[in-house]
Amino acid sequence: MPVRPTPDAMRERIFAVLGDRVAGATFLDLFAGTGAVGLEALSRGAASVVFVERHRGAARIVRENCALFDLDDDRARALVQPAAAAVVALARDGNTAFDLAWADPPFESWEEGLAALVGAFSAGLLGPDAVACLECPERAAVEDGLPDNLEVFRDLKGGASRVVLIRRSDLNG
């Protein structure tokens, strides 16, 4: 019987795939929960992370976790709002562009995570060489929800979940 990777094991696999892209990167952590993914990015050398979490209690935990590591607002910032609204607000702000984005929405609303990532690409929040990661159910029809200029270029499966890596297809061949 195959062993199902734990969330930590899946996260480890993704960061191994991202490799050197993380060092010095600006990172957008959508559906941040406790902030574990963004904190992992910072521990691997990301320049900064914007955490987005709609639930105030979870966002408070993100802030507390950032405070434990003495992270100032230049390196770690938490926004309390839905992912789609945060994408619009960040794009309107115009001062932020991200190299990497991660969305880990609740599985029953994985499409919301995909829509937020697609919105981040179309709003210019994710630059030409940016990579977006979506954690979703294994059978999620991610490719069906992508516009023609985006593609899944890596698909890592583990148990009932998968993480797809998305990039611009109009710049990659």
Query: What range defines the domain where residue 135 resides?
Result: 7-74+82-168
The number of domains in the chain is 1
Q: Is residue 109 part of a domain?
A: yes
Does the pTM exceed 0.95? no
| Domain assignment of residue 2, yes or no | no
The confidence score (pLDDT) of residue 7 equals: 57
pLDDT of residue 5: 41
| Confidence (pLDDT) at 11 | 83
The pLDDT assigned to 114 comes to: 97
Whether residue 92 lies inside any domain: the answer is: yes
Crossing angle of helices 7-18 and 36-43, in 10° steps, is 40
Please indicate, yes or no, if residue 16 is contained in any of the structural domains: yes
Report the C-alpha gap between 102 and 122 in whole angstroms: 16
CATH code of residue 70:
3.40.50.150
How many CB atoms sit inside 10 A of residue 91's CB?
A: 16
Residue 173 is assigned to a structural domain of this protein:
no
Residue 93 covered by a domain: yes
φ/ψ (deg, to 5) at 163? -125, 125
pLDDT of residue 172: 53
**What distance in Å separates the CA atoms of residue 90 and residue 112, rounded to the nearest whole number?**
17
3-state DSSP helix/strand/coil % of the chain, to nearest 5: 40, 30, 35
Q: Which residue numbers in the chain have pLDDT < 50?
A: 1-6, 173
pLDDT at 73: 79
110 in a domain, yes or no? yes
